Amino acid sequence: MKELKDSKWFDVEFVPKDYVFSKEYGPRNLDSPVCDSIPVIDLSKANGHIDPVEAILSASQEFGFFQVINHGIPENKVSDAMSVLKEFFDMPSKETHTKGWIYTNSTDYAKDGVHLWRENLKHPCHPIEDCIHLWPENPTRYQEVISAYLVEIQKLSLRILEMICEGLGLKGGYFEDMSEVQLLSSNIYPPCPDPNLTLGILPHQDPSLITVLYQGDSTGLQVMKDGQWVNVGAIPNAFVVNIGNQLEIISNGRLKSIKHRVVNNTRDTRLSIATFVNPSPDCIIEPAKVLVNEMEPSRYTPKQYKEYVQYNNAFGDYTVAIQNALRSEN
Ligand SMILES: O=C(O)CCC(=O)C(=O)O
Ligand SMILES: [Fe+2]
């Protein structure tokens, strides 16, 4: 028997009853096919044989997901961010709800009375200079390391959004004013004694424009493709990018926001860092005018982003609440 002070919620031989999700959430096996077909796009034109803009567009139309390599982000900035987040999650005691960030232990969070097999940290991250002082102060190098990581991620996400603009035929900078609310959300998924019973994250679509995810070399992310859950392969140093609901609307349904989830495994700890690029609460989201015509009428009613998140509160409430907190702070 371990000393109580060392024991964590996941140090168990059997999955506790209140972590068991019913079968309606589908099989959880990691033996489902690894979807090799989710495109891996080389962003360095010099190495690529295919135009990355075309590749991003067709991946976003067909899968709503793609991975990018040769993106120019230095490996050490990414590995430092992963290790400082690991240190954060390993700290024996953490504050939970501060003004600027929210830490969710798996024991705090329940969906219909069931807990997810993960812990989560969320905070706003744009503009970095306005919110850095609201981030965790421990580990002591957290703010320095995470800001260096986010500078790179913000450049990468704007670059990808510009490529999407070009691919869709929108004028340059179309998304600039719409990507003012950015959130970092990091999850840690410890090994689980019976992953067939649990879920790391429930099936959902992201309420963002795009999400840029680093998952290191661990699998667990699954994407719905033709009615089946397929694993997204883990490619070290690659970023997984997915189209969120807002970009599906703006593209008038050309680009797809696809359902995904995270399953657990018995052996490894999965650590991921997601960055959501979201519109600001007052922004009106509607199909871009140039994508609407007689042949392709508008498929979505214009809505303010905050109106949208009221109905889809998976992360939405948080987006609005944290943005308001940020405003009142400044
Ligand atoms: O942790 C992951 O791999 C995925 C996270 C995710 O889908 C999300 O936070 O929206
Ligand atoms: Fe997601």
pLDDT given for residue 28 in this prediction: 81
pLDDT given for residue 197 in this prediction: 94
Name the residue of 117, 211, 273 whose CB sits within 8 Å of the most ligand 1 atoms, as the mutation to test its pocket: 211
Q: Quote the mean pLDDT of the chain.
A: 87
Domains along the chain with CATH numbers: 16-329 (2.60.120.330)
Per residue in 134-154, pLDDT tens? 899 999 999 999 999 999 999
Name the residue of 201, 206, 263 whose CB sits within 8 Å of the most ligand 1 atoms, as the mutation to test its pocket: 201
Q: How far is the CA of 47 from the centre of ligand 1 (A)?
A: 29
Give whichever of 14-23, 39-48, 60-69, 225-234 has the largest mean pLDDT.
60-69
Residue 329 predicted with pLDDT over 60: no
Name the residue of 239, 245, 262 whose CB sits within 8 Å of the most ligand 1 atoms, as the mutation to test its pocket: 262
Which tops the pLDDT comparison, 96 or 165?
Answer: 165
How far is 91 from 29, CA to CA, in rounded Å? 30
Question: CB of 275 closer than 6 A to ligand 1?
Answer: no
pLDDT given for residue 306 in this prediction: 82
Q: How far is the CA of 2 from the centre of ligand 1 (A)?
A: 32
Question: CB of 278 closer than 6 A to ligand 1?
Answer: no
Give the closest ligand to the alpha carbon of residue 221: 1
Question: CB of 306 closer than 6 A to ligand 1?
Answer: no
Per residue in 282-317, pLDDT tens? 889 999 999 999 999 999 889 888 887 766 655 444
Q: How far is the CA of 171 from the centre of ligand 1 (A)?
A: 30
pLDDT given for residue 30 in this prediction: 64
Question: CB of 241 closer than 6 A to ligand 1?
Answer: no
Per residue in 231-285, pLDDT tens? 899 998 999 999 999 999 999 999 999 999 999 999 999 999 999 999 888 889 9
Looking at ligand 1, which atom is closest to the CA of residue 220?
Answer: 3
Question: CB of 187 closer than 6 A to ligand 1?
Answer: yes
pLDDT given for residue 11 in this prediction: 93
Question: CB of 213 closer than 6 A to ligand 1?
Answer: yes
Question: CB of 163 closer than 6 A to ligand 1?
Answer: no
Residue 96 predicted with pLDDT over 70: no
From 68-72, 197-201, 218-222, 326-330, the region with the lowest mean pLDDT: 326-330
Residue 188 predicted with pLDDT over 70: yes
pLDDT given for residue 180 in this prediction: 78
Query: What is the reported pTM?
Result: 0.92
Question: CB of 118 closer than 6 A to ligand 1?
Answer: no
Question: CB of 73 closer than 6 A to ligand 1?
Answer: no
pLDDT given for residue 322 in this prediction: 43
